[in-house]
Structure 1
Amino acid sequence: MIGRPDAANAGWRSLAPDITPLLDIIFIVLVFLLLTANIPLQSLEVDLPKTDSKSLSSIQDTKSMTINMLAGTPAWALQGEQYDDWQQFKAVLENQLEALKETDLILASDKDVTVDSMLKLLAFLQEHHINTTQILMEDD
């Protein structure tokens, strides 16, 4: 009831601390911590070989297959045959898995290709345990 509190209840309420401001501060800090928490980034590990620059520029093995990543469309090429989208190209790569594992794989990319295209290809190669690859680089 609204009005005067009883004498017994009035003494108990005056001794209890009001924790409403404390709860407000705790909830604000909790929301702040949740919004600023570090979000784990997904990463793809790539082991690059450590060799001298002279051996990087020459390809010795004749048993090799070349994958080209092109800017624009068509975006992909395997041994010169071009493909427009990733799903189509991925199906071709899955059909050629045994050949890709037996030969050295050469990755040649246009400088304007997005990182997304390179990561899709490297993730596919890692998923299918294809380790022998060479990435062609242009000298400055």
Structure 2
Amino acid sequence: MITASSGSHAENNGNEVPSLELTPLIDIVFIVIVFLLITANAPLLKLPVNIPEATENPSADVISDETLVITVASDQNSWALGDDTYEEWGELKTVLLGRIQSKQSVLNSLNISIATDNSATAESLVKVMSFLNEHQLKNVQILMQQPE
């Protein structure tokens, strides 16, 4: 039987009302809030890349007389320009420079297509792209095979 007394709760013999300790809960909530604030403001590292959107019927443009097709082969440092293959980057660079200079009058309408093998190294592709960037050639497309 519970009797009412005018004293404190400690005087009740085993009839204390359990209380919830909120201090650990508040500590955990503050830790979660601090963690979220720190991770939400973390800067993301990104590289801007302009990728064209796919269309219903993807296809390469018709290759005209003013198109240079550069193939990056899967062999170690192997490239092809049209039907000619080059094992050395210096050889390809010299031939490309000659072709670009010979088409200087139509440089704005010169199309360059880069076709890469799936197992070609990224270094070979980057060499070609940086060369084209150095010579400010803007009409460049990378040919890709559509996944089946």
- TM-score bracket, shorter-length normalisation: 0.5 to 0.7
Match of 1:48 among 32, 47, 50: 50
User: Percent of aligned positions with the same letter in both sequences?
Assistant: 24
Distance of 2:88 and 2:82 partners within structure 1: 16
Gaps of 5+ in 1: 1-44
Contact map agreement 1:70 1:113 (CA 8 A) in 2: yes
Q: Which residue of 1 aligns with 2:29?
A: none
The structure carrying a bigger helix percent of its residues is 1
Q: Which residue of 2 aligns with 1:65?
A: 68
Distance of 2:86 and 2:48 partners within structure 1: 25
Distance of 1:137 and 1:81 partners within structure 2: 21
Q: Pick closer, same or farther for the CA change 1:89–1:46 going to 2, 3 Å.
A: farther
Match of 2:142 among 112, 123, 135: 135
Contact map agreement 1:57 1:137 (CA 8 A) in 2: no
1:84 aligns with 2:84: no
* Runs of 4+ off more than 6 Å: none
Q: Give the drift of 1:56.
A: 4.3
Query: Following superposition of structure 1 onto structure 2, how do residues 101-120 of structure 1 map, counting pairs within 5 Å?
Result: 101=107, 102-120=109-127
Q: Give the drift of 1:106.
A: 0.7
Distance of 1:54 and 1:66 partners within structure 2: 24
Q: Pick closer, same or farther for the CA change 1:80–1:72 going to 2, 3 Å.
A: same
Q: Which residue of 2 aligns with 1:14?
A: none
* Alpha-carbon RMSD: 2.6
Distance of 1:115 and 1:53 partners within structure 2: 26
Q: Give the drift of 1:95.
A: 0.9
Aligned residues: 97
1:93 aligns with 2:96: yes
Distance of 2:123 and 2:134 partners within structure 1: 16
1:53 is matched by which residue type in structure 2?
Answer: T
Distance of 1:97 and 1:49 partners within structure 2: 25
Q: Pick closer, same or farther for the CA change 1:86–1:48 going to 2, 3 Å.
A: same
Distance of 1:111 and 1:48 partners within structure 2: 21
1:116 is matched by which residue type in structure 2?
Answer: E
